Amino acid sequence: MARRGALLSARAFRTAPRSTLRRWLAVALSLVLATAATAYVVYDQELDGSIRKLRGSADHRLDLYAASLEREIEKYATFPYVMGLQSDVIARLRDPSDAALVPRVNVYLETLNRRIGTSVVYVLDRRGRVVASSNWNEPDSFVGLDLSYRPYFRNTAIDRVERFYGIGTSGNKPGHYLATALHDNGVIVGTGVVKIDLEQLERSWSSAESPAILTDEHGVISLSSVPGWKYGTLQPLDAAARQDIAEAQQYNDRTLAPIGMRVVRDLDHAARIVSLPGRAGRDGRVFSISGLFLAQARMLTGVPWRLTVFSDLEEAVDLARTRAVLAGLGVLLLGGASVMLVQRQRHLREIVAARAALQRAHDELEHKIADRTSELTAANARLVGEVEERRRAERALRDAQTAMVQAGKLAAIGQFSTGIVHELNRPLAAIAALSGNAVKFIERGDVATASGNLERIRPLVERMARLTGELKGFARKSSGGSGPVRVRKSFDNALFLLHHRVAYGRVEVVEDIDPDLVVRCDQNRLDQVLVNLIGNALDAMEGREGSRLDLVAAATPDGFARLDVRDNGPGLSEDWPQHAFEPFYTTKAPGTGLGLGLAISVGIVRDFGGELTAAGRASGGAAFGLTIPLATDPA
């Protein structure tokens, strides 16, 4: 018997450790997996949080860089127009055989270049040959050069400044070119060009805390805070891009090789994580150009140039790794302590199990009674809360609708602000030239000519006053009231605000509007709807030859007015009707629209008691129509 007991004890000793070992191995494996998962989650969250903070600061730097670049270029944007106000320049382009004009025009351009502080100012004839230049008496003079291959000559137009970055073929000096067509009573006779140097701005980028670059439409770096990146590319150029650059002789004999940037992860259309292969040494810079970076990009207004800022991720990655390790160690320690505590309390739970079962039965009965009472109280509270929530939701909906209408106005103002600025710049430049000439005529004693110049200034000032007045009235917050509104005036207001886009796009406007048509609505909101619809039509026809805008307004037999805005653009896509009037839905390119215009317009027209519809035209294009009740008291 003793021997038999000893054998059983030995067998139990050999069996028990194997089951215990398996249990402890399972616990250890679970703990390791939990530690690894926690470290991974903490690392990912910490890195994402650091990237969000870096994106905020990168957006701020992009705002500063873009504003300084635009400001530096825009302060010279009016000078190509100024050349067209000089009578000798126009006479030289109109009559190339008049040799007496050559020295006068060259001296005028030389004086203008010295006063405005640009690199060079010159004039091209209709064939693209330089006929006068501010550097006429220098060894690398532009006079006589054939620059017809330059895009700013091929794309020149009246009342539009063409931008171009390139390296000069004569002096091999880089610069930004601003060009516009010079005309005589609407007939183009030549092109005025101003070349500016942005090296000072580029050097200021080198002292910033992060590298920044400016790339053109082909991805070639034209400005860079890292000298070694200049004239490099973000990606290898294809054959078509190299052919375009070669035809324009944009970068002369530069290699245009990739800088070695590798995309690690795309975050969205404006940001991605990249790897840069630069040396780790600073070489006098305040930033590194080696390792992982957050590349934040933004397109500049009016030109296909992209501004990119690189934010170093080294500190963010190190911080995320450190916190992930600490979190993993914390989970490991907490898990070990928990296992020990569970093991210690296991036998205590067995002792109190019976007592707990009895107590649970008692508590369950009490809980059921308490839960039923709580359910009745909660149901009553929910009912009261739902009523109050519905009231708050209705008030919030009204406030949101008002805010969306105002946001739509501001978005519309932002979209045609460039045209308004241009409309103001031309009269201002003309006023400056005329007033300066008037002073000279007064000094000469020619009061009659000076008076004529001053009389020409008055209509320019009146037009500027009307433009700013219309813009102020459009931006004003609507009172929300309805009254008699003359449809002809609302169409005139919208066309006046969009005049520059109509003229710039050479759009033919055909109007069939009843001059006596009066509807009942809010004048300011009707103007906003027409600005949205006409602005969308101009967007659709942009860049098309023979663009035509039809505006029709007439009364219908059922007591409504029918207003139509039709274009001959590309028409409507197949999925457009499903999402047409949804907020933030847009088919425009990124950065050119918020997708609020039609959503706001349909709400405004519905408030008028009318309806906004859209359909494709059989002849091509789109037609938007709105019905508004006629006013019963047109007075």
| Mean pLDDT in residue range 272-278 | 83
CA–CA distance, 528 with 410 (Å, rounded to integer): 10
Q: In this predicted model, which residue has the larger pLDDT, 18 or 249?
A: 249
Which residues, in sequence order, are CB contacts of 289 under 8 Å at separation 6+?
A: 211, 226, 276, 278, 279, 310
Burial 308-320 (b: 16+ CB within 10 A, else e): bbbbbbeebbeeb
Cβ–Cβ contacts within 10 Å for residue 43, how many? 20
User: For 212-230, what is each residue's pLDDT tens digit?
Assistant: 888 888 889 888 888 788 8
Average model confidence (pLDDT) for the chain?
79
| Mean pLDDT in residue range 183-208 | 84
pLDDT-derived band at 83 (thresholds 50, 70, 90) equals confident
CA–CA distance, 163 with 250 (Å, rounded to integer): 13
Q: Is there a domain that residue 155 lies in?
A: yes
pLDDT-derived band at 550 (thresholds 50, 70, 90) equals very high
Q: Is there a domain that residue 40 lies in?
A: no
Q: In this predicted model, which residue has the larger pLDDT, 340 or 406?
A: 340
- Identify the pLDDT of residue 630: 92
- Identify the pLDDT of residue 628: 93
Q: Which of 290, 308, 288, 289 is nearest to 298 (CA)?
A: 308
Structure tokens at 132: 């006068």
- Identify the pLDDT of residue 17: 65
- 582 pLDDT exceeds 70? no
Q: In this predicted model, which residue has the larger pLDDT, 433 or 514?
A: 514
- 322 pLDDT exceeds 70? yes
- Identify the pLDDT of residue 519: 93
- Identify the pLDDT of residue 585: 54
Q: Is there a domain that residue 359 lies in?
A: no
- Identify the pLDDT of residue 9: 47
E strands present in 435-593: 483-486, 508-513, 518-521, 548-555, 560-567
CATH number, domain containing residue 159: 3.30.450.20
Question: Domains in the chain: how many in total?
Answer: 2
pLDDT-derived band at 168 (thresholds 50, 70, 90) equals confident
User: For 483-492, what is each residue's pLDDT tens digit?
Assistant: 899 999 989 8
Q: Is there a domain that residue 131 lies in?
A: yes
What φ, ψ does residue 176 adopt, rounded to 5°? -100, 135
Q: Is there a domain that residue 243 lies in?
A: no
pLDDT-derived band at 281 (thresholds 50, 70, 90) equals very low
pLDDT-derived band at 607 (thresholds 50, 70, 90) equals confident
- Percent of the chain surpassing pLDDT 70: 77
CA–CA distance, 542 with 125 (Å, rounded to integer): 28
- Identify the pLDDT of residue 353: 79
Domain that holds residue 191: 79-197
SS3 120: strand
Which residues, in sequence order, are CB contacts of 296 under 8 Å at separation 6+?
A: 55, 58, 59, 62, 270, 271, 308, 309, 311
Domain edge (last residue) among 158, 173, 197: 197
CA–CA distance, 292 with 307 (Å, rounded to integer): 19
Q: Is there a domain that residue 272 lies in?
A: no
Q: In this predicted model, which residue has the larger pLDDT, 390 or 548?
A: 548
CA–CA distance, 251 with 65 (Å, rounded to integer): 24
Domain edge (last residue) among 153, 180, 197: 197
- Identify the pLDDT of residue 548: 92
Would you state the torsion angle of the CA atoms of residues 532, 538, 540, 541, taken in this order, to the nearest 10 degrees?
170
**Largest separation between any pair of C-alpha atoms in the chain:** 144
Alpha carbon separation from 43 to 38, 39, 65, 294, 327 (Å, rounded): 8, 6, 32, 17, 9
Q: Is there a domain that residue 619 lies in?
A: yes
Cβ–Cβ contacts within 10 Å for residue 260, how many? 12
- Identify the pLDDT of residue 384: 73
- Identify the pLDDT of residue 436: 66
Where is mean pLDDT largest: 125-129, 285-289, 436-440, 522-526?
A: 125-129
Domain edge (last residue) among 134, 163, 197: 197
Task: Give me the helix-helix angle, 487-497 and 523-540, nearest 10°.
Answer: 50
Q: In this predicted model, which residue has the larger pLDDT, 170 or 108?
A: 108
Least confident span in 37-41, 345-349, 593-597:
593-597
User: For 401-449, what is each residue's pLDDT tens digit?
Assistant: 555 555 555 555 555 555 555 555 556 655 665 566 667 668 777 777 7
Q: Is there a domain that residue 589 lies in?
A: yes
Q: In this predicted model, which residue has the larger pLDDT, 424 or 512?
A: 512
Looking at this protein, which amino acid is placed at residue 404?
Answer: M
- Percent of the chain surpassing pLDDT 90: 12
- Identify the pLDDT of residue 401: 54
pLDDT-derived band at 10 (thresholds 50, 70, 90) equals very low
CA–CA distance, 74 with 192 (Å, rounded to integer): 16
CATH number, domain containing residue 598: 3.30.565.10
| Mean pLDDT in residue range 184-193 | 90
